[in-house]
Structure 1
């Protein structure tokens, strides 16, 4: 798997001002897509629109299970295929397809169905369960993240740092989309497991060198219930530049 542990990172517990909780938690949208999928470009275009919304963290997760049809996806990570399947295994429908959007780790919509995606976004925004506000900034050669004190109600959460390329345009040479130029937003280029969160206030430090890979110029931080094998709700998130 492409998931890489970073548990050796230092954790120093510290309080976070309660006023930070008044900020809205951004909604996270994960688009499982493929350059070899003929029905994916409209969903890719919709994600590009969502990426412009400051209250949405829209991520492109390219999968590799369409590579056999004649074009190897240049942005795909096998771990994305595993993540999509892990989400599906926890749902009654157990469906895996492209384009598929997963909203806040718990709501699913066909990625090219604008109305269905908007309904999922509205549902996520109206959720009664409060989110966790991550305060993150670049300090020298590291990303510093502040987690507030919170109540997980018996759940387990993990913080993940995902190197992201804000914009990538690909000329697809063969397959169902052969001859097309497709632009992707917030392309996830890897995953670093920062560590677990127990609900105690904490400060974490992530070296930028661990995030600068495969054209990444930003980092998405996801605080998610469950584990890599059984991902649950995303309860906190942030997206910031590595520059």
Structure 2
């Protein structure tokens, strides 16, 4: 398959977001246009157009100014290979973005940048342009502080912030930093696929009214070798107002 594979939009939507987890340390609050910015990739191991976007997300994930998340969708499972990371919830998140961003269809691969724009994500140039657009959108970010002593729950803190268009969702997600999968059927038959920042759990923790606030995520919601991330996103899966991540030390 060349280009990208598309599916007409339909079905239910899900409001949600993602966060990254990790071991130890804290990420200081920042409220400047230097980010960090959120990039959410919707991908499938059953789509032969996706590996270039998967690789690019892996490169972007190394940047400190980017919170990179990979959601595996399930609507291509029927064409020969069942993606072991795909879930109805991750597919529903993409469908909600398609509705919010007024797309006629969902497709893979797709990168959504800061909740405001999308691109297939197979080349760096267009993604850098969308990141620049995100940087121009607001001079100030509602960037959460993440505190996670080893073995302890994750604490999320937000300073007061003026919300212009109603409440925001506080979204948490845990992801695997890197997973390797030998594929034995479908469009990627015979390949070993490398996926990065694979979201394994995400949820909306709470709505936020812009006042100083704090939330706790129990340690049993994530694993010690996973990344943790928090997105502050306009309710209804709108633009992202801020985000942050914590990740374990890289190995190898």
Q: TM-score range by the shorter chain?
A: 0.7 to 0.9
Q: 1:169 aligned to 2:180?
A: yes
Change (3 A) 1:20 1:83: closer
Q: Which residue of 2 aligns with 1:115?
A: 125
| Cross-structure match for 2:246 | 240
User: Which runs of 5 or more structure 2 residues have no equivalent in the other structure?
Assistant: 1-11, 17-28
TM-score, with structure 1 as normaliser: 0.85
- Give the ranges of 4+ consecutive aligned residues of structure 1 lying more than 4 Å apart after TM superposition: none
Report if aligned partners of 1:189, 1:216 keep a CA contact under 8 Å in 2.
no
Is 2:208 the partner of 1:202?
no
2:226 matches 1:226: no
- Deviations 1:46-78, CA, capped at 9 Å, x for gaps: 111111111111111110000000100011121
Query: 1:4, 1:191 within 8 Å by CA — same for their partners in 2?
Result: no
**What does residue range 40-51 of structure 1 map to in structure 2 within 5 Å?**
40-51=50-61
1:211 is aligned, of 186, 208, 222, to 222
In the alignment, is the contact (CA less than 8 A) between 2:232 and 2:240 conserved in 1? yes
Contact 2:33 2:139 in 1 (8 A): no
RMSD: 2.4
Given that residues 208 and 242 in structure 1 are in contact (C-alpha distance below 8 angstroms), is that contact kept between their aligned partners in structure 2?
no
Match status 1:93 vs 2:103: yes
The separation in 2 between residues aligned to 1:4 and 1:37, in whole angstroms, is: 25
Q: 2:91 matched to 1:77?
A: no
Over residues 143-197 of structure 1, what are the superposed CA-to-partner deviations in whole Å (9 max), with x where a residue is unaligned? Answer: 1111010111132211111011111111111100011111111110011321111
Offset of residue 4 of structure 1: 11
Number of the residue aligned with 2:63: 53
What residue is the counterpart of 1:67 in the other structure? 77
TM normalised by structure 2 equals 0.82
Return 5+ residue gaps in structure 1 as ranges.
Answer: 6-18
**Closer, same or farther: CA 177–90 of 1 in aligned 2, 3 Å:** same
Aligned mates of 1:129, 1:148 — CA distance in 2: 16
